[in-house]
């Protein structure tokens, strides 16, 4: 698998709590130079990053992050604010409590409310696979596929575990309607990247893979 092909599928990510502008600026520069799919950064840096990159690389940010238990109104406001500030892509976290209680309609409504705000911009739905049973993972493939979101995403990278090859293989069997897959959390090497892409992932979220590819 060619290096540039992998780079074109990476959301080059820096979401650590103590990130500073100098580090975000480096992510921006690397994303532009390496032609990554996007740079994924905290919401507070979106406006500054948008001014810096001038459209040379898409800017992704996160909402309802990392726990997902904010109200829908708060998530909708976060998404609206991020887009106003220049975000091109939104990665949202679902309400995992709703999932555990079987409130699938509420999750679907929330996803669609946020996608309405996103319009033509990309929305990815983080389901935090490390906290889910196989049945719940399959159910979320169904819910996200029924929604207007663009991607189902494995993980925040802030919980007990990240993406696994088995999860991507499971997602590939159960998503439908053109829903794409993003693997994130713990992807650190070229072999990981190749395996996840071959298993069906369209995007890879990683804070460490880019250095190995340069």
Q: What is the percent of the chain with per-residue pLDDT over 70, rounded to a whole number? A: 100
Mean pLDDT in residue range 69-94 = 98
The model's pTM: 0.97
Mean pLDDT over residues 161-180, rounded?
97
What's the pLDDT score for residue 211?
82
Mean pLDDT score of the chain, rounded to an integer? 97
Interval 129-137 mean pLDDT: 98
User: How far is Cα of residue 104 from the mean position of the Cα atoms in its chain?
Assistant: 20
CA pair distance 9, 13, nearest whole angstrom? 12
Q: Is the pLDDT of residue 214 over 80?
A: no
Give 151's pLDDT tier (boundaries 50, 70, 90).
Answer: very high
Q: What tens digit of pLDDT does each residue of 32-55 get?
A: 999 999 999 999 999 999 999 999
Is residue 212's pLDDT more than 90? Answer: no
Query: What average pLDDT does the segment 100-106 reach?
Result: 98
210 — pLDDT class (breaks 50, 70, 90): confident
Choice among 115, 137, 153, 180 that is catalytic? 153
CB atoms within 10 A of CB 138: 16
For 114-119, what is the mean pLDDT?
Answer: 98
Is 105 designated active site?
no
29 is catalytic: no
> According to the model, what pLDDT value does residue 150 have?
98
Catalytic option among 75, 124, 137, 182: 182
Which of 11, 88, 91, 192 is the catalytic position? Answer: 91
Q: pLDDT tens for residues 53-72?
A: 999 999 999 999 999 999 99
The reply to whether 91 belongs to the active site is yes
């Amino acid at each position: 698998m060619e290096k540039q092909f992998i780079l074109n599928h990476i959301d080059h990510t820096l979401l650590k709590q103590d990130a500073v502008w100098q580090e975000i600026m480096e992510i921006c520069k690397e994303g532009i130079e390496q032609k990554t799919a996007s740079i994924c950064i905290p919401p507070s840096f979106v406006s500054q990053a948008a001014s810096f990159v001038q459209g040379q690389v898409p800017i992704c940010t996160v909402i309802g992050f990392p726990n997902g238990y904010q109200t829908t109104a708060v998530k909708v406001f976060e998404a609206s604010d991020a887009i106003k500030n220049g975000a091109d892509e939104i990665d949202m976290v679902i309400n995992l409590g709703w999932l555990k209680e079987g409130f699938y309609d509420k999750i679907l409504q929330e996803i669609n409310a946020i996608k309405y705000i996103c319009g033509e911009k990309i929305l990815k739905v983080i389901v935090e696979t490390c906290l889910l049973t196989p049945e719940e993972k399959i159910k979320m493939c169904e819910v996200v596929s029924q929604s207007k979101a663009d991607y189902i995403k494995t993980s925040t990278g802030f919980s007990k575990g990240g993406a696994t090859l088995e999860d991507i293989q499971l997602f590939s069997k159960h998503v439908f309607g053109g829903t794409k897959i993003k693997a994130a959390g713990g992807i650190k090497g070229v072999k990981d990247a190749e395996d996840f892409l071959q298993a069906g992932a369209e995007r890879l979220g990683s804070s460490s893979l880019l250095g190995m590819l340069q």
